[in-house]
A and B are shown apart, each in its own frame.
Chain A
Amino acid sequence: AQSVTQLDSQVPVFEEAPVELRCNYSSSVSVYLFWYVQYPNQGLQLLLKYLSGSTLVESINGFEAEFNKSQTSFHLRKPSVHISDTAEYFCAVSRSGGTSYGKLTFGQGTILTVHP
């Protein structure tokens, strides 16, 4: 079984400041890792994913996350946030390989609030 811990329930930052949303996971098998974003009253949108290859993955809107296997972490970072980044962010894992079928285990979520 897998578990995900998002260490911060709320992160307030000012516009143009850098931000890091922390995610740690626990699993006895290899995993795929994801970050999803949820804007108010909307569904989840995939922000970025790590399946294999380079441990640093990037999204089209400036977010990046680095898979650190030794620390079992997948922290999300952005060097300069915008007001429009205000949303709830969820880290998720899924076991990889074998009979994996995409069942996701989510963290509790981190609410990012960007202040002007």
Chain B
Amino acid sequence: NAGVMQNPRHLVRRRGQEARLRCSPMKGHSHVYWYRQLPEEGLKFMVYLQKENIIDESGMPKERFSAEFPKEGPSILRIQQVVRGDSAAYFCASSPRGQGNLNYGYTFGSGTRLTVV
């Protein structure tokens, strides 16, 4: 049973390009969370999604960032027109259920390290 798979592991983009980060949750997990880790900082919550629904996007920057979790396929975090300040590690986590999920586990992927040059 594979864990949470994130790809690519490393992504380099020039300023103004688009970045697409993918997250495949663990088998049987229908809840996905995205976190961002800026240099020298802890992880910050960005968005929580269930299949085809955004539940909480209170941590997402207002512009250029979007996330989806379609019925089929991985969750995608999309950053348009990247800037140097977007350089960070982006982590995805999944869990088997929402409410009360912490009793059942919450598994992180290995992250995508985005570098904007």
CB of B65 closer than 8 Å to a CB of A? no
CB of B48 closer than 8 Å to a CB of A? yes
CB of A43 closer than 8 Å to a CB of B? yes
B106 touches A43 (CB 8 A): no
Min CB distance, B37 to chain A, in Å? 9
Residues of B within 8 A of A (CB): 4, 6, 31, 33, 35, 40-45, 48, 55-56, 91, 95, 98-103, 105-106, 108-111, 113
Complex contacts, B56 vs chain A, CB 8 Å: 101, 103
Complex contacts, B33 vs chain A, CB 8 Å: 102-104
How many residues on A have C-beta within 8 angstroms of the other chain's C-beta atoms?
Answer: 27
Complex CA gap A99/B102 in Å reads 12
Complex CA gap A43/B106 in Å reads 12
Given contacts A99-B99, A101-B55, A102-B98, contact A90 B91 (CB under 8 A): no
A106 touches B42 (CB 8 A): yes
Given contacts A43-B91, A45-B108, A46-B106, contact A101 B101 (CB under 8 A): yes
Complex contacts, B98 vs chain A, CB 8 Å: 101-102
Residue of A nearest to B98 (CB): A101
Complex CA gap A100/B103 in Å reads 12
